[in-house]
């Protein structure tokens, strides 16, 4: 299995509900350094897993929608704690949608799975990975 991974980042504010979170129940924020790893069993004729330029643009576009925002005010996340692991899933779903719409170019239907990792500090990160639906 081949992988290609590109990196971006976003800087957001949010707060969490639940005693579990202690002081993180207060409004605070985070820088997330975000890795998107695309996996495919075979390379394209050009020798790539995915067009790395388009992959980088797609990741940037997804992060741009969240960057410099207070996620507590984003209706997509109503009644939801925007934990690092939850946001990893969010980025995964949004990338999968872009893949489904063909935004990553011809050949991206070969992609088998995707892993999104959000680094929140030098001592903690979270990730979500899953299979990608086969394009029709």
* Spatial contact of 38 and 55, defined as CB atoms under 8 Å apart: yes
By beta-carbon proximity to a second copy, the closer residue of 89 and 103 is 89
> If binding is defined by CB under 8 A, does position 13 make contact with a second copy?
yes
Residue 104 near a second copy by CB under 8 A: no
User: What kind and span of H or E run contains 53?
Assistant: helix 52-66
- Within 18-37, which residues bind a second copy (CB under 8 A)? 18, 20-24, 26-33
Report the residue number, 29 or 97, with the smaller CB distance to a second copy: 29
Q: How far is the CB of 58 from a second copy (least distance, A)?
A: 14
Short-list 106, 105, 112, CA closest to 133:
112
Closest C-alpha to 29, from 48, 12, 42: 12
| Residues 57, 103: Cα–Cα separation, whole Å | 10
Pattern 55-84, a second copy, x by CB under 8 A = -x----------xxxx---------xxxxx
């Amino acid at each position: 299995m081949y992988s290609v991974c590109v990196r971006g980042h976003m800087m957001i504010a949010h707060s969490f509900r639940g005693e579990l979170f202690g002081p993180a129940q207060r409004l605070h924020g985070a820088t997330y350094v975000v890795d998107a790893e695309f996996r495919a069993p075979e390379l394209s004729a050009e020798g790539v897993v995915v067009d790395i330029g388009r992959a980088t643009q797609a990741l940037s576009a997804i992060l741009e929608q969240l960057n410099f925002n207070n996620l507590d005010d984003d209706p997509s996340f109503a009644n939801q704690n925007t934990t690092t692991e939850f946001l990893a899933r969010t980025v995964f779903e949004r990338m999968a949608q872009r893949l489904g719409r063909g935004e990553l170019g011809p050949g991206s239907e070969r992609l088998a799975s995707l892993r999104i990792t959000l680094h929140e500090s030098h001592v903690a990160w979270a990730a979500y990975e899953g299979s990608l639906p086969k394009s029709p």
